[in-house]
A and B are shown apart, each in its own frame.
Chain A
Amino acid sequence: METIIEVKGLTKVFKTRRTELIAVDHISFEIYKGEIFGMIGPNGAGKSTTFAMMTTLVKPTGGSIMVSGLDVEKEDEKIRQKIGVVPQQHSLYPDLTARENLELMGNLYDVPKKLMDERIDYYLKLVNLKTHSDRFTGGFSGGMKQRLSVICAIIHDPEIIFWDEPTTGLDPQTRQAIWKLAMKFNEEGKTLIFTTHYMEEADKLCNRVAIMNAGKLVALDTPENLKKTSNSTSLEEVFIHLTGEEIRD
């Protein structure tokens, strides 16, 4: 299988005035082209920080990351052209219309005008927002914003999609819709990387799952293998088994 992301000895230390916090602690893994890769772990495990480093938003303290053959340290602008990141917040401009939000992103990614218009129409239809395309997003419902936010992140047709907690706090219907969308992107050949709190989602949808705890990578395998090795029936059990029972916040 072809490797699309290669993480080696990745470390991130946050220095505050008095303390040093090791958010990510020497983790190494590979992500294969075309797979759906899930990251799970308790709050504060370092998932978002790992994401931020892979997406060039935060500079690693140590280690290296190659994305699609490019080094995050040196070729971050080229990497950003190849990846799409769905932010945790909806992150839309409320005083622009849905179409204008999409056009803005398309322009920032230098998508040619004609191609951009085609994609905008295609994706607006795909997420059922076609009829709302000329409304200001300030008046959109949460679900509508969520859907628009997703297609804003992929208007430049990225190879890899990063998605931090796509379904947290959503109702089951919207979650279902988001997953359908994710599957659709994956069928188009895009590699999907996401974090989630919902074990059954990871279990059902991911080709492989990485479990993080306290900045460390504690397990990485297919859901089936993870369950087999710890003799569990669900991923939830594997998770508790590996990360302990105490509650974190």
Chain B
Amino acid sequence: MIKEFKQLFRKKVLVVPLFVFPIVMIVFFGYGMGGSVNNVNLLIVNNDMGVSSNALVQELGTFIPKNSDNKMFEITYTKDMSQSEAEDKINSAEYKAVLIIPVDYSDRLAKNEKPEVTLLTDQSDTTSTGIIVETMNKILAKSQPGTILLTVPDLYGSLKYIDFLTPAVIALTVFFGTVMSTGYAVAGEREDGTIVRILMTPVSRGAVIFGKTIHQLILQLARAVILILAAILIFGVTMNGSWLLVALILVIFTFGAVGMGIAISAKSEDMTSFQQISMLFTLPSMFATGVFFPLDSIPDWMRWIAYLIPLTYANDAMRIVMIKGQGINAIAGDLIILLIYSIIIFSVAIRIFRREV
């Protein structure tokens, strides 16, 4: 069956837009952007035996950034936690940042020595990290001018904004690419009548859809691999995780995107209306899902939209694997949500395809 579809897909693929588009995007947005973040989940591990740290903690709890009405930190308190335990909390995205106040904090201040606090942040999100570190420095300086040392260990190697951007741009590219090329294929074959010819053969509709899906999976995976390699070679982007997991995320995600492409194109009368309808679905994904800026930095209402869009979960999973180098457990939640989305979209698509085409 697959063999029979090979010819169908031997159409010449437009290589330039396929690869140039995401690279331009990385370069274009790659120069970072400032802004503020709020509702940052901060875990304070206060091991201090004395009371001097209370002032600092208070300061953090009430801090409101300029140009904002909301508190910057959403704080949870604990004590007696090792740094590696704290790192796990970041890796699993339970907390965005962990501040560790050492046992001798008050002691050292009393002796006029410089205490050293450690800040762990989710460095896969370079923008938020930059803002959090900067804010933390300010607050520390205000609390005890010139005395407290802040250490920020590199959890995932030294990262730039582009490291944050690349995993999501790849997910975005795969999403756009799949919806568009599946859609064009179906809408085009409808427009020129070839799909009727195919449906007249003994090949079932299920097999036609299956063929299209396999084709997209192969195409998109190949594309993702090339893009990641290019990003590593050209921009020195970090790839800390497993290629296999990246493939797994993209396979599940592409599956849903194929469904979306089929559904939209089966519903639209011709090429032009397909373009318009698909824009309606794909553009919000681009801006509301934390591709270019962290979800913590966008307004609440936008974040709620983001949580409804599958790309959000693909971005998250891609970053967890590619930057944080985590295993399947860390992305299980994202994968399950993606899988549910994909199955729903795909079954709706098959239904529409059977009815409309």
User: Which residues from chain A sit less than 8 Å from chain B, CB to CB?
Assistant: 55-57, 77-78, 80-81, 83, 85, 87-96, 100, 103-105, 107-110, 152-153
Q: Size range of the interface on B? A: 10 to 19
Which one of B3, B12, B194, B200 lies within 8 Å of A85 (CB-CB)? B200
Output the least CB separation between B208 and chain A (Å).
Answer: 10
A78 to B204 CA separation, bound complex (whole angstroms): 11
* Given A104-B8, A107-B4, A107-B7, A92-B199 contact (CB < 8 Å): no
Contact, CB under 8 Å: A108 / B201: yes
Total cross-chain contacts (CB, 8 A): 63
Output the least CB separation between B2 and chain A (Å).
Answer: 11
Closest to A95 in B: B11
Output the least CB separation between A70 and chain B (Å).
Answer: 12
Closest to A104 in B: B7
Closest to A80 in B: B202
Residues of chain A within 8 A (CB-CB) of B10 are: 96, 100
Contact, CB under 8 Å: B197 / A91: yes
A225 to B194 CA separation, bound complex (whole angstroms): 39
Which one of B8, B196, B202 lies within 8 Å of A77 (CB-CB)? B202
Residues of chain A within 8 A (CB-CB) of B197 are: 85, 87, 91, 105, 152-153
Residues of chain B within 8 A (CB-CB) of A55 are: 200
- Cβ < 8 Å to A, chain B residues 197-219: 197-204
Contact, CB under 8 Å: A103 / B7: yes
Contact, CB under 8 Å: A87 / B196: yes
Residue in A77, A108, A110, A152 whose Cβ sees the most chain B Cβ within 10 Å: A108
Residues of chain B within 8 A (CB-CB) of A95 are: 11-12
Residues of chain B within 8 A (CB-CB) of A83 are: 200
Output the least CB separation between B1 and chain A (Å).
Answer: 10
Which one of B7, B194, B198, B203 lies within 8 Å of A100 (CB-CB)? B7
Which one of B12, B193, B199, B200 lies within 8 Å of A88 (CB-CB)? B193
Closest to A152 in B: B197
Q: Which 6 A-B pairs have the closest CB atoms?
A: A89-B193, A91-B193, A108-B201, A107-B4, A91-B197, A95-B11
Residue in B7, B199, B203 whose Cβ sees the most chain A Cβ within 10 Å: B7
Which one of A56, A92, A96, A152 lies within 8 Å of B7 (CB-CB)? A96
Output the least CB separation between A116 and chain B (Å).
Answer: 12
Contact, CB under 8 Å: B194 / A91: yes
Residues of chain B within 8 A (CB-CB) of A77 are: 202, 204
A134 to B280 CA separation, bound complex (whole angstroms): 41
Residue in A81, A96, A100, A107 whose Cβ sees the most chain B Cβ within 10 Å: A107
B85 at interface by CB-CB < 8 Å: no
